[in-house]
Amino acid sequence: MRLVAAARLMCLLFLLLAALPAYGQRRVTAVTVDFAVHPITAEIVTHAIEEAERQQSVALLVRLNTPGGLMDAMRQIVEKLIASPVPVITYVSPSGGRAASAGFFLLQAGDVAAMANGTHTGAATPVSLGPEMDPIMQRKVENDAAALLRSLTESRGRNSKVAETTIMEAKSFTEKEALDQRLIDLIAADEATLLEKLDGREIKRFDGRKEVLRTTGASIVNYERTLRERLISAIADPNLAFALLSLGSILLYVEFSIPGLIGPGVAGGIMVLLGLMSLSVLPINWAAAALILLALVMFVLEAKLASYGVLGIGGAVAMVLGAMMLIEGPPEMRIRLGTAVAVSGSFALITVFLLSLILRAHKQPVETGESGMLLKTGVAYTELAPAGKVFVHGEYWDAVASSPLPQGTSVRVTGIDGLLLKVEPAAQTGNEERKFT
């Protein structure tokens, strides 16, 4: 019994000793912003901050490699970063990456701002989201952005005057220039080097509190995005959203025109919903959306009216213009000209072609039902005295004639009553007359 108890005690001590290093392991929660800044970016960063606090991480590492994005989404992220209970390290990486436009604001929002070798930042001038702004309005927007930037840089002890030039003069800086101008705190070749350099560094939080970073030996744990975040991040590209909506609409039209195919309807419905989900996180210009609807109307009229292509070309032009102005955002958030032309041109050709086929089919004589039997010719399979059987449309039918007719007489259908045909003599055609024995 003593041996058993001793063995159990040894096992327990072994497990406790094995667990101690993991329990005392420092961690840094990392989140990557490597796409345009939009509302889903704010959601991802918010959840990463919550994860870092829950895991008691020593810091939150925000990897930046973005061309910029929406001003409103950027402000939301900045608010979350400066209010983070966990120290925030913003780091532009990898080499060749950038933190431009809205990304420059995110870089300055960190308690520590760092850049990897071969990266650049700046060019933070606000871009008009709609029609060209008048000089006074443009100045107001720039001054508002500059005030936010001054607030961020001055609280971190960085060079606010040079930072303002990224707005007023659209200046950009390499990592060495940014360090020399005191826009960032250090340059680090990689994340391990970054954490090593930051260990023991005293930082001043946005609220004035001072804190010492302990990052040596800390493990970097990536924030795992939710399924919704991964999905919307993947499709939150306006070019992809426009293509999904266009292709999905065509597939739905095919399903409604030829009921029962099922496949096009299912695929089209999924594509349209994904496209709408993508656009739901982006600011929409409803005048541009009206242009796209006008284009659809023109495509329909082109198939019905003899406009000699005028309506079709007008619809394609309206769709291209509507697509390019659909997103109210900076250039990196808008639908590219190449995408707009390729998708709109293909959509116009396919839509007009399908509509032409359907309208042409509607003009063809009906081949089924009662209407499809009227005036069809055949031959009397038996003597009609006046009732009997006839062979019409490749089928044998009960029939009644207006007057007695001998077997083999050519007949024409004049009416149908349920499954009984009404016939009368027809001119001899040679091909349709046949004798039955």
pTM reported for the whole predicted model: 0.68
Residue 193 placed within a domain: yes
Query: Are 363 and 416 spatial neighbours (Cβ–Cβ below 8 Å)?
Result: no
CA atoms within 13 A on the CB side of 168: 12
Residue 4 placed within a domain: no
3-state class (DSSP) for residue 403:
coil
Cis, peptide link before residue 386, omega less than 30° from 0: yes
Q: Quote the pLDDT of residue 23.
A: 40
Do 197 and 80 have their domain in common? yes
Residue 282 placed within a domain: yes
Q: Quote the pLDDT of residue 309.
A: 67
Distance CA 244, CA 290 (A): 18
Do 393 and 278 have their domain in common? no
Residues near 257 by Cβ (< 8 Å), separated by ≥ 6? 354, 358
Do 162 and 59 have their domain in common? yes
Residue 436 placed within a domain: no
Q: Quote the pLDDT of residue 429.
A: 41
Do 257 and 221 have their domain in common? no
Structural domain that includes position 421 = 369-425
Query: Are 275 and 289 spatial neighbours (Cβ–Cβ below 8 Å)?
Result: no
Domain end: 204, 228, 252, which one?
Answer: 228
Do 204 and 145 have their domain in common? yes
Do 160 and 244 have their domain in common? no
CA atoms within 13 A on the CB side of 311: 16
Q: Quote the pLDDT of residue 22.
A: 40
Domain end: 196, 228, 260, which one?
Answer: 228
pLDDT tens digits for the chain (437 residues)? 555 455 555 555 554 444 443 445 789 999 999 888 888 899 999 999 999 999 999 999 999 999 888 888 899 999 999 999 999 999 999 999 999 999 999 999 999 999 999 999 998 877 654 445 567 777 888 888 899 999 999 988 899 999 999 998 989 999 999 999 999 999 999 999 999 999 999 998 888 888 999 998 899 999 999 888 888 877 777 888 888 888 888 888 777 767 777 888 888 888 888 888 777 767 778 888 888 888 888 877 766 666 666 777 788 888 888 888 887 766 666 788 888 888 888 877 777 777 666 666 556 555 555 666 777 888 988 888 888 999 987 788 889 988 888 888 889 888 888 788 888 888 644 444 444 33
Residue 279 burial (CB count, 10 A): 20
Output the domain CATH number for residue 81.
3.90.226.10
Residues recorded for the chain: 437
Q: Quote the number of domains for the chain.
A: 3
